[in-house]
Chains A and B, each alone.
Chain A
Amino acid sequence: MDKMPAWADAVLVPLISLILAALLSALVIIGIGEDPIAAFQLMVDGALMRSSGWGYTLYYATNFIFTGLAVAIAFHARLFNIGGEGQAMIGGLGVALACLYIPWPNWYVALVGATVSAALFGALWALVPAYLQAKRGSHIVITTIMFNFIAAAVLNYVLVNLLRPQGAMDPATARFPEATHLPTFQDMFSTAAEPMFRGAPANVTFFLAVLACFLVWLLIWRTRLGYEIRAFGFSESGAKYAGISPVKITVVAMLISGGLAGMMALNTTMGEAERLVMNATEGAGFIGIAVALMGRSHPLGVLLAALLFGFLYQGGAELALWTNIPRELIVVIQALVILFTGALDNMVRMPLERTFLAFRKPARPDGRSAQSGPAE
């Protein structure tokens, strides 16, 4: 068994993929007649050099941590949950219902209640695809794609016909009551002398997201259930032989995944908009795929990748504001990251593996390694 060292697999492969994606993105920027270095500087200035820029970066990162963790947990069970978008939409519905119809005394009780509601709604939306995969063998990728569209239709119906206040034109709920408003970073960190994070939407849910990272790490690597999930993802037949129920693991992993995706809505709906709007998810469910792939499904990796994408999102908004580069540049970068870290993974891995093995050969005097190639 000749293999690359673990650090190369965990760090070097994603790093090279990322560099390739960045180089291609730079070529795209050159292709539309802009200067990639100036563009990058503008992104750094806008996203990282001011506290309000950080406020936006962390706000976006909060979304991506939740959806990234959602995809990552499913990946551990070798399930591809592409339905984070739909689960987050329905999670938003859970947040809105909890905030609108329960008289909360203050924001932290409201946050706990809304979190439970969001996770419950998101998890329930993931339950049907999970059940169909586990019991009926319907491919989870297809069912979760379909459920994204069904979620959009459900949300559209509920907002237009049921939750829209009388006389309002746009499909959105009424504003949430004052008691449910979450403290933003501006409220938390500003002092009288020095205002911080002015106008930025980052709020207390960011810490909830970081906590979620830790809890997911605990679950995956320090509990029996996490072990079962990983064993199932590693080898379904092996897990079955060890007495692990595939139905249980599929359903439980998807429920956790859906719950995490649903909790994303706390940030956008309760933290920022303070009402439920039609496009509350802003595609974050799909960015979760890129984040999980880049973070190698590890919570710490997800956290770092989410911060990177938060930076890209805020930087992209700055670019759209000051240059002729549209926001869609971020979608291209996101696509390249998914392509290189996900689908073309072997393109980087295969040559790298060969290089490592070539360097290792002299250490094996018995000549055994001369015959063994990476194709074994």
Chain B
Amino acid sequence: MDFLTLIQVLDSTVRLATPLLLACLAGLFSERAGIFDIGLEGKMLAAAFFSAAVASITGDVWMGLGAGILASIALSVVHGLASITFRGNQLISGVAINFLAAGLTVLIAQDWFSQGGRTPSLIGAGRFEPVILPGAETLAGVPLLGPIYSELISGHSILVYFGFLMVPLTWWLLYRTRFGLRLRAVGEAPEAVDTAGISVVGLRYMAVGICGILCGVAGAYLATALQAGFVKDMTAGRGFIALAALIFAKWRPWYALYACLLFGLLQAVALRYQNIDLGVFVVPVQVMDALPYILTVVILAGFVGKAIPPRAGGEPYVKER
């Protein structure tokens, strides 16, 4: 593999890791507050459709992004109602949200556009264009560093930079602010938070809301930056890979970045090479597809460092009387 191919694979890794990263951080906020969320996939899908639909109708990708975020937040509210207000089963609610999004997006797409459950292809201002960082053109000729800067670092959509910026921001918010401390506490010992006179319900809704916003950006990125338009089931399990990455990262922001980059790399390699010939034996493409899930099971099994979820995760909080 020569240097330029390597750059191309890494470039594609960054692009494929971004939706995973955004969804993974979304899940991190929710699960750190004690609300399990297996509905990341559905929220991304709903956001992907509504962002593409509104962007294609208005011709303005920013309106699309807003619509995507709103759609995702709406599903977050449903999840919050079910799992916080009515103390229902968070996992079942997540399953329902995934199906709701899978069905409604196609239903509405067919009603609005009559193109077999897809939106028209986005063109011009309906898509997020690559951002060329200053000096990328002039520095392209510099050996080694030039291609890295102009191909790998420059030339992504603005949402990619937003996603990567969210990692230190999430870390700062969680570990360096009062809000973050409370958010983490509500996922570990909600009764302690309650005793301190802070609303458990309010904090959890806040976390679920942030999760909705980030999933919305992730979905909008899929439909308006990575691809040009919505197609049926376009998230293709990315919400679950993000969930896997979250467990792989043991619910920590920086590790989430590494896990998403790793899973993004696997996707990029699987996309570029079908079967990988290692000389001794051939790694079939299906192994690359299944690897994120296998790795997650191994991590969950605790053979390579134990993944311990937030203690109050999945449990509805009932105030003591």
Contacts and interface: CB of A to CB of B under 8 A. Distances in A.
Interface string A309-340: 00000000000000011101111111110110
Given A328-B103, A332-B104, A346-B88, 6 more contacts: A136-B302, A146-B300, A149-B289, A328-B107, A342-B92, A343-B89
A236 interface: no
Nearest to B79: A343
B91 to A, nearest CB: 5
B22 to A, nearest CB: 20
B88 to A, nearest CB: 4
A4 interface: no
A326 B113 CA distance: 13
Interface string A28-69: 100111000000000000000000000000000000000000
Contacts of B117: 326, 328
Nearest to B313: A139
Contacts of B137: none
Contacts of B111: 31-33, 324
29 contacts: A32-B107, A128-B297, A138-B297, A138-B300, A138-B302, A139-B300, A142-B247, A142-B300, A145-B240, A145-B243, A146-B294, A147-B293, A150-B297, A293-B92, A328-B102, A328-B103, A328-B104, A328-B107, A329-B103, A329-B107, A335-B97, A338-B96, A339-B78, A339-B100, A342-B88, A342-B95, A344-B88, A347-B88, A375-B321
Interface in B71-121: 78, 81-83, 86-93, 95-100, 102-104, 106-108, 110-111, 117
Contacts of B86: 343-347, 350
Contacts, number: 154
Nearest to B116: A326
Nearest to B110: A326
A176 B98 CA distance: 36
A305 interface: no
A80 interface: yes
Interface stretch (A95-103, A108-116, A154-162): A154-162
A333 B87 CA distance: 22
A141 B290 contact: no
A143 interface: yes
Interface residues of A, number: 51
A286 B93 contact: no
Contacts of A128: 297
Contacts of B110: 32, 324, 326, 328
A80 B91 contact: yes
Minimum-distance CB pairs A-B, first 7? A331-B103, A343-B93, A335-B99, A332-B103, A153-B290, A138-B300, A342-B92
Contacts of A143: 297, 300
A273 interface: no
A142 B100 contact: no
Interface of B: 38, 78, 81-83, 86-93, 95-100, 102-104, 106-108, 110-111, 117, 237, 240, 243-244, 247, 284, 286-287, 289-290, 293-294, 296-297, 300-302, 307, 309, 321
Q: Name the residue in B88, B93, B95, B106 with the highest tally of chain A Cβ atoms < 10 Å from its Cβ.
A: B95
A132 interface: yes
A330 B83 CA distance: 24
B82 A343 contact: yes
A145 B96 contact: no
A204 interface: no
A82 B286 contact: no
A334 to B, nearest CB: 6
A286 B301 contact: no
A67 B83 CA distance: 25
A353 B79 CA distance: 23
A123 interface: no
Contacts of B103: 328-335
A264 interface: no
Contact of B83 (A82, A335, A343): A343
A184 to B, nearest CB: 30
Nearest to A82: B95
Contacts of B91: 80, 82, 141
A334 B237 CA distance: 19
